[in-house]
Amino acid sequence: MPDTLLSINGLSAGTEDKPILHDISLTVDAGQTHVLMGPNGAGKSTLGHVIMGDPTYRVASGSITFDGTDITELSPDKRSLAGIFLSYQAPVEVPGVPLYSFLRTICQMRPELKTTARKFRQRVADICKQLDMDDSFLTRELNVGFSGGEKKKIEMLQLLLLQPKLAILDETDSGLDVDALAIVSRGIEAYRQECDGALLIITHNTRILERLDVDRTHVMVRGSLVGEGDASLIDEIDATGFGRFEEALAAKGGAN
């Protein structure tokens, strides 16, 4: 029996005045790679944020269980400590906090990642090299003034350092040039192999998936999950779009 890592049951959520997600149920087993696709505005990023506990959103019903614990009411920092990582579609800038200090602080908060300053410096240097990242980035303020592609690489650096049990990557590939895309893809592959971590990848671009074995693909339309399949579903969507899923939802008297 595989170990269930993330289990979402009948989850409905939204902002204070706008329902966005409707009756979402989804299970990710340890070490699996899942892909979430859907048209713009479907609610994919919202689902990522709700799994992470973003207080912008309110859970109206349903539950989220992670690694055997109900985390529906848990704060984002506790979810992060439990082993969930969210790479943001648009990473936030944190003025005044140098990237290196930020990385050191978050790793020191994890008993399993605590290490000496020297070993930590070496580990960071190794990952920077792996990601073809200029190590002058480390002394700059977190995400401030970095280009879109550079911010995505910084998120990969965090992913490889933190080794979470589940990484939710929200359009980590958007805006990357062809070389950066290859580097980020290799970073994700390294996370899969070195940490045996699970992935929930939100993407419109299937190139990022080329180096990965996808276990399940989910399709979200207007806040509802309307399709699920194996990796072949990605090729079908690439070829024919979301039309049949929109129609299926409409036939069911779809939400929103």
Name the site residues for ligand ATP (rule: CB under 6 A).
Answer: 15, 18, 20, 38, 40-46, 56, 89
Min. distance of Cβ 156 from Mg ion in angstroms?
18
Beta strands in 46-116 (DSSP E): 58-66, 69-70, 84-87, 94-98
Min. distance of Cβ 19 from ligand ATP in angstroms?
9
Nearer to ligand ATP, 127 or 234 (CB): 234
Phi, psi for 104 (deg, rounded to 5): -65, -45
Min. distance of Cβ 170 from ligand ATP in angstroms?
7
- Reading the block at residue 42, the tokens are 């479907």
Dihedral sign for Cα 175, 181, 183, 189, please. Answer: positive
User: Does residue 45 interact with Mg ion by CB under 5 A?
Assistant: yes
- In DSSP terms, 63 is beta-bridged to 9
Nearer to ligand ATP, 37 or 156 (CB): 37
Min. distance of Cβ 244 from ligand ATP in angstroms?
18
Cα(148)–Cα(176) distance, rounded to whole angstroms?
8
User: Does residue 203 interact with Mg ion by CB under 5 A?
Assistant: no
- Among Mg ion, ligand ATP, none, the one that 240 touches (CB under a kind-dependent 5 to 8 A) is none
Site string for Mg ion, 70-89 (x = CB under 5 A): -------------------x
Min. distance of Cβ 16 from ligand ATP in angstroms?
9
- Among Mg ion, ligand ATP, none, the one that 53 touches (CB under a kind-dependent 5 to 8 A) is none
Nearest-CA neighbor of 48 among 88, 80, 75?
A: 88
- Among ligand ATP, Mg ion, none, the one that 163 touches (CB under a kind-dependent 5 to 8 A) is none
**Residue that has been written with the tokens 């990484």 in this structure:** 167
Report the C-alpha dihedral over residues 100, 111, 184, 39, rounded to 10 degrees: -110
- Reading the block at residue 38, the tokens are 């859907």
